[in-house]
Amino acid sequence: MLRRLLFLLVIAPYIAGANPTAVDFFNGSLATAKERAAQEGKLYFVDFVASWCMPCRWMDETTFSDPRVAEYMNTNYIPVKVDIDDFDGYAYKQQYNIRVLPSLLIFNSKGKLVARYQESLPPSKMLQILAEHNTSTNRVITASAAPKPIIKPVPPRLTVSSKPPLIVKPTTKPSNYNTDIAPVKPTQATLPVSPKPASTKPVASSPHAEGLYRFSVRHQASSGYSVQVGVYGEYSNLLREAAKIEQKFDDAILVHIAQLNGKTVYKILVGEFKTREDASQFRAFLQQKGLTGIIKDLTTING
């Protein structure tokens, strides 16, 4: 009896590892997942989540831990998780109009959105949905299996000891904004996600922000105030969001490059003002247009 017990203890790890017990979410960006889906002729599945979303945790513990779901998704899909509270997750949340959680998006191998689900799904329903969209028309290899390496745009090098913000657009002094405008507090859904900004024409449908851009870069003096409206970890997301903001506003767009936990981050700021009061009035104006922000003292930005 003892020998049999010892034998079971020895082989238990191998038995447990024989079949997947949870969905193996892709360890990479959404843009990279899209490229891999095109190379392998697979669909890719995006699960938008947040640490405070209890239904999202329920799906992790039940649906995505179901062996049947895990095996089917790992074989036929490129599954990706996007945290909307992360730097780039916030940009993707805006791009795909994520307003409730959990939100589950399915894309074909060409990067076209084919389905959206805004609810918690049990394993049986998830299997049905995955099988429904796993068709030959949605699984077409659209890229070489050995693509050339992708070279990301490199931000301009700073030649001074400190890192002042960079201005991406010639300075335009803002007009006088109505001092009677009061900030609009974002409304909250059952599972709150920041409200969708006012509709704008997208610069590019891909997170890579493909296309030709024109902008000039010069050093910006670290003085006065501005309104920070976004933080991004991918330079491509910075380009796309800066171009969208430029379409809506005539004010100066500043970019601050900094380090956070060993990672380069890019912060977008809009407008430049001599006083905090002027910046506060402009922030209220931005909120009326659906763009939230925080006031930043440019004299404190050194890196």
pLDDT in tens, 31-86: 899 999 999 999 999 999 998 999 999 999 999 999 999 999 999 999 999 999 88
Please answer whether residues 82 and 48 qualify as being in contact, where contact means their C-beta atoms are separated by less than 8 angstroms.
Answer: yes
CATH 3.30.70.1070 in the chain: give the residue spans: 166-187+214-300
List the 294-297 sheet strands across, edge first.
Answer: 218-219, 166-167, 253-260, 263-273, 225-232, 294-297
d(CA 269, CA 236): 16
Amino acid at 7: F
Please answer whether residues 177 and 73 qualify as being in contact, where contact means their C-beta atoms are separated by less than 8 angstroms.
Answer: no
d(CA 44, CA 173): 45
Q: Which pLDDT band, with edges at 50, 70 and 90, does 293 fall under?
A: confident
Q: CB neighbours of 212 closer than 8 A, spacing ≥ 6?
A: none
Q: Is the pLDDT of residue 256 over 70?
A: yes
Q: What is the mean pLDDT of residues 93-107?
A: 93
Q: Which pLDDT band, with edges at 50, 70 and 90, does 294 fall under?
A: confident
Give the pLDDT confidence score for residue 120 in this predicted structure: 92
3-class DSSP state for residue 297? strand
d(CA 216, CA 267): 17
In this structure, what token pair is assigned to residue 13? 């790890």
d(CA 241, CA 1): 66
- Plot region of 226 (φ>0 → left; ψ -120 to 50 → alpha; else → beta): beta
Give the pLDDT confidence score for residue 298 in this predicted structure: 86
Q: Which pLDDT band, with edges at 50, 70 and 90, does 289 fall under?
A: confident
Domain boundaries 17-138, corresponding CATH code: 3.40.30.10
pTM of the complete model: 0.50
Write phi, then psi, for 11 (nearest 5 degrees).
Answer: -90, -10
Most confident stretch, 18-22, 103-107, 169-173, 270-274: 103-107
CATH 3.40.30.10 in the chain: give the residue spans: 17-138
The more confidently predicted of residues 174 and 166 is 166
CA distances from 278 to 175, 227, 294 (A): 10, 10, 13
Q: What is the mean pLDDT of residues 249-274?
A: 83
Mean pLDDT of the chain: 76
Q: Is the pLDDT of residue 105 over 90?
A: yes
Q: Which pLDDT band, with edges at 50, 70 and 90, does 248 fall under?
A: confident
Most confident stretch, 137-141, 165-169, 252-256: 137-141
Domain boundaries 166-187+214-300, corresponding CATH code: 3.30.70.1070
Q: Which pLDDT band, with edges at 50, 70 and 90, does 3 fall under?
A: low
Number of helical H runs and strand E runs in the chain: 8, 10
Q: Which pLDDT band, with edges at 50, 70 and 90, does 149 fall under?
A: low
The more confidently predicted of residues 7 and 292 is 292
**For the chain, what is the largest distance between any 2 Cα atoms, rounded to a whole number of angstroms?**
86
d(CA 241, CA 52): 26
